[in-house]
A = this chain, B = another copy of it.
Amino acid sequence: MQKILAIGGSDAGISAALRAKELDPATEFTLLLSDRYPNFSICGLPFYLSGEVGDWRNLAHRTLNDIQNQGIVVLAEHVAQSIDAARKSVHIQDLNTGKSMDLNYDKLIIGTGSVSMRPSIDGVDLDGVFFLRWMADSFAFKKHLESRKPKSITIIGAGYIGMEMADAMHQLGLEVNVVEFFPSVLTTVDLPLGQLVQSELERHRIQVYTQTAVTAIERQKEKLVVRGKNGFTVDSDMVLIATGSRPETALAQTAGFELGFKGAIRVNRKMETTVSHIYAAGDCAETYHCLLGENRYLPLGTTAHKQGRIAGENALGGSREYAGSLGTQSVKIFDLVAARTGLKNDEARSEGFDPFTADFATWDHKVYYPGAKKLFFRLTGDRKTHRLLGLQIVGAYGTEVSKRIDIAAAAVYHKMQVEELNNLDLSYTPPLSSPWDPVQMAAQQWMRSL
């Protein structure tokens, strides 16, 4: 009987535990949790803060009871302090009692996730300045909203969390400013599509400042002032810093294993680290990119679930390989959905491809049927091989943008050529598509433009 210990009770750790228990209910599986909130949907935090999710407890994919009922032992509010890989033991501390102890394992799974990037500027620790990653961040933010009743917020960083929080805070009636370093919001899609998202923000009277490097945050009486280069200032009642995350690997380093891409824990496709009997999965680890055939760093919930599932299976003695990520993602911002899979043009070039990207716009369904809305595509393929490298779509909520990107995700997974997308037998009915799905029309446009 295997004794498996997982450090971290978010997507990766829980997925590992569930998979191991599914395959062998006799496995002794212990999960170490630094807070009291196992398996919470981090992606759901903006919807809790907007009030769309009334009770924070609903953000849990599973309750503690659900998890324990699977026979998984959960040590809540316990942190791991170091790993002794030679003795196969982890030194842990109970946060409530302060007591320490050693836990032995046969197999160890690291799922410590990531931590918010803290820009090296003054003022990030001021009262009223927040980060958002874990439940504790979320509770602090919520408490501030309720007790201080801020009327305005400045969000630094226009990535997923920044965009969703702009939407959320607008719903609460706050005046919202967004400050972004790059020329456009949502740089996970290219500039022309990012500009569509920016227009959507501005349509809702969000103030967006792009190409703005923040230099400091200062308190001036009741206000927090965000300062940037070239004399930029904007003031508001509170500030959210959402400038991304980096892998949490402090613990991992005590065991002496290698770090890889962007400082994430180096893993192979079996999710094994460079130290025997230790696996890593989720945001703390590298991600195999199935288009590139190499590891990158792509912290996403979908990836954490898949990697965790594989770590759990292999910790039991399996030898399954992670199929890999394509960075497929989608986000709803007000009435728009932006989605992507694979590589953008510039990414493809820097990865050694010879990319060509075509823009295309068309209706989501037959325009004669009421309610048709425009979809905006950017499709990237390789000039020489015609291999499909990536797709980006922006369109209205309700136009099946997110599952349209998945058609391309399946196509890239299977190494299809752009032209071959026309071979797919996709569904059509006038209220929902066209005889050639817009994804296929984008492929045809790519062929013509090339």
Interface status of A26 (Cβ within 8 A of chain B): no
A371 nearest in chain B by CB position: B52
Interface status of A143 (Cβ within 8 A of chain B): no
Q: Which stretch, A68-76, A131-139, A203-211, A408-416, touches the partner chain B?
A: A408-416
Interface status of A292 (Cβ within 8 A of chain B): no
Tell whether A402 pairs with B432 under 8 Å between CB atoms, given A410-B407, A427-B339.
Answer: yes
Per-residue 0/1 for A414-450: is the Cβ within 8 Å of any B Cβ (1 yes, 0 no)? 1000001011111111111101110000000000000
Q: Which of B302, B331, B407, B428 contacts A43 (CB 8 A)?
A: B428
In whole Å, how far is A395's beta carbon from the nearest beta carbon of chain B?
12
Tell whether A406 pairs with B403 under 8 Å between CB atoms, given A306-B422, A329-B429.
Answer: yes
In whole Å, how far is A337's beta carbon from the nearest beta carbon of chain B?
7
Q: Which of B420, B426, B436 contacts A406 (CB 8 A)?
A: B426
Q: Are A410 and B424 in contact (CB under 8 A)?
A: yes
Q: Are B407 and A11 in contact (CB under 8 A)?
A: no
In the bound complex, what is the Cα–Cα distance between A305 and B426 (angstroms)?
12
A22 nearest in chain B by CB position: B448
In the bound complex, what is the Cα–Cα distance between A358 and B160 (angstroms)?
36
Inside 8 A of A370's CB, which chain B residues have their CB? 52
Q: Are A329 and B428 in contact (CB under 8 A)?
A: yes
In whole Å, how far is A37's beta carbon from the nearest beta carbon of chain B?
14
Per-residue 0/1 for A368-410: is the Cβ within 8 Å of any B Cβ (1 yes, 0 no)? 1110000000000000000000000000011010111111011
In the bound complex, what is the Cα–Cα distance between A406 and B429 (angstroms)?
13
Inside 8 A of A430's CB, which chain B residues have their CB? 41, 43-44, 47
Q: Which stretch, A109-117, A176-184, A319-327, touches the partner chain B?
A: A319-327
A323 nearest in chain B by CB position: B423
Per-residue 0/1 for A320-356: is the Cβ within 8 Å of any B Cβ (1 yes, 0 no)? 0001111111111000010101000000000000000
Q: Are B414 and A368 in contact (CB under 8 A)?
A: no
In the bound complex, what is the Cα–Cα distance between A304 and B425 (angstroms)?
11
A291 nearest in chain B by CB position: B425
In whole Å, how far is A216's beta carbon from the nearest beta carbon of chain B?
33
Q: Which of B43, B53, B435 contacts A301 (CB 8 A)?
A: B435
Q: Are B413 and A324 in contact (CB under 8 A)?
A: no
Q: Are A302 and B47 in contact (CB under 8 A)?
A: no
A55 nearest in chain B by CB position: B368
In whole Å, how far is A401's beta carbon from the nearest beta carbon of chain B?
8
Per-residue 0/1 for A294-305: is the Cβ within 8 Å of any B Cβ (1 yes, 0 no)? 000000111111
Per-residue 0/1 for A44-85: is the Cβ within 8 Å of any B Cβ (1 yes, 0 no)? 100100001100001101000000000000000000000000
A46 nearest in chain B by CB position: B430
Inside 8 A of A366's CB, which chain B residues have their CB? 41, 43-44
Q: Are A402 and B429 in contact (CB under 8 A)?
A: yes
Interface status of A129 (Cβ within 8 A of chain B): no
Q: Which of B330, B369, B432 contacts A337 (CB 8 A)?
A: B432
A-B residue pairs in contact (CB < 8 Å), sample of 12 = A43-B430, A47-B431, A305-B436, A323-B425, A324-B423, A324-B425, A330-B427, A330-B429, A332-B432, A406-B407, A410-B414, A410-B424
Q: Which residues of A contact B (CB under 8 A)?
A: 11, 41, 43-44, 47, 52-53, 58-59, 61, 290, 300-306, 309, 323-332, 337, 339, 341, 366-370, 397-398, 400, 402-407, 409-411, 413-414, 420, 422-433, 435-437
Question: With contacts A43-B366, A43-B429 known, what are 9 further pairs, Cβ within 8 A?
Answer: A43-B430, A290-B425, A323-B423, A327-B425, A329-B428, A330-B427, A332-B431, A400-B402, A409-B427
